[in-house]
Amino acid sequence: MFDKYNRRINYLRISVTDRCNLRCVYCMPAEGIQLMQHDEILSFDEILEVVNAAVEQGIDKIRITGGEPLVRRGIVDLVRMIGQIKGVKDFGMTTNGIYLDKFAKPLFDAGLQRINVSLDTMNPEKYKALTRLGDINMVLNGIDAAKKAGLDPIKINCVIKESSKEKDAQEVSEFCIKNDLKIRFIREMDLEKGQFWKVQGGEGGSCQICNRLRLTSNGKIKPCLFSDLEYDVRELGVKQALNLALGNKPKSGTQSLINKFSNIGG
């Protein structure tokens, strides 16, 4: 499918939860966020209905995000169900890697193809401070498990302040070279101020060629991260919500006062 700016829209990012097992300083306040009620969160059947309708309209790339997707109960079953949908050609997930050691093989066996793991520093103390809760060794074990499982490519999402020349970014980059991993540098974004940059080593942040829609964990289809436009699949029905999101996709992002990275998955 194409939007009114003739951009091919073939990518759906699905946030499956607003919950997370970390409290990264640039994403969540230390005390966490007001979590959604269980019945606000889309069921697997509702997510599958959206994916099937989206694939019918030309979506062939799916990425699962969160919060942290690996804290969603039954996530491997959901991956299996999405993986079986004909037309899904490119199937990935973004995770903080804390539970990846345990889930890598089951996810791969269920049909997941690729994985992005968040890692902003190689320094254990800094990692703990940045995530407020995390143990970097669990992430490194998770990356190893992803390799052994056959997930490919494995990409490292490294959040930077301004430049990939920053010390932590350079150390993560060296780690990636040594371990044959791909790295993406993501400058810290500000939704309210409308501050975002092209992802170095990725496609994100390039409005001219933007190919994505997002589904939030509570069932809103969003045509753009830096916009407050959203269409509720429960209120409008899946097809109508998809069509409205596609039809109203802005030429480029401006700002968002309602989006939170924790429930939209970046």
Q: In the complex with ligand SF4, which residue's Cβ is closer, 7 or 126?
A: 7
Residue 207 binds ligand SF4 (CB under 6 A)? yes
Residue 231 binds ligand SF4 (CB under 6 A)? no
- For the bound state, the minimum distance from the C-beta of residue 185 to ligand SF4, rounded and expressed in Å, comes to 16
Residue 210 binds ligand SF4 (CB under 6 A)? yes
Write the interaction track for ligand SF4 spanning residues 137-176; mark x where CB under 6 A is met and - where it is not.
Answer: ----------------------------------------
Residue 195 binds ligand SF4 (CB under 6 A)? no
The label of the residue with tokens 């309209």 reads 57
Q: Beta strands of 135-241 (E only): which ranges?
A: 154-160, 182-187, 212-215, 220-222, 231-232
- For the bound state, the minimum distance from the C-beta of residue 261 to ligand SF4, rounded and expressed in Å, comes to 13
**DSSP summary character for residue 67:** S
- For the bound state, the minimum distance from the C-beta of residue 196 to ligand SF4, rounded and expressed in Å, comes to 6
**DSSP summary character for residue 80:** H
Given 91, 226, 231, 261, the residue binding ligand SF4 (CB under 6 A): 226
- For the bound state, the minimum distance from the C-beta of residue 30 to ligand SF4, rounded and expressed in Å, comes to 28
- Structure tokens of 95? 């995770």
Please choose, out of 11-19, 97-105, 121-129, 201-209, the segment that lies near ligand SF4 by the rule CB under 6 A: 201-209
Residue 252 binds ligand SF4 (CB under 6 A)? yes
Pairwise CA distance, residues 132 & 134, whole Å: 6
Other beta carbons within 10 angstroms of residue 58's beta carbon come to: 13
Given 87, 106, 111, 205, the residue binding ligand SF4 (CB under 6 A): 205
Other beta carbons within 10 angstroms of residue 114's beta carbon come to: 18
Q: In the complex with ligand SF4, which residue's Cβ is closer, 176 or 245?
A: 245
**DSSP summary character for residue 63:** E
Radius of gyration of the chain (CA): 17
The answer to whether the CB of 257 falls within 8 A of the CB of 192 is yes
Identity of residue 98: I
- Structure tokens of 189? 């974004």
CA torsion through residues 13, 16, 18, 23, sign: negative
State the residue number with the nearest CB to ligand SF4.
253
Please choose, out of 23-31, 32-40, 127-135, 205-213, the segment that lies near ligand SF4 by the rule CB under 6 A: 205-213
Given 2, 148, 206, 235, the residue binding ligand SF4 (CB under 6 A): 206
The answer to whether the CB of 59 falls within 8 A of the CB of 12 is yes
Which residues of the chain form contacts with ligand SF4 (CB under 6 A)? 196, 205-207, 210, 212, 224-226, 252-253
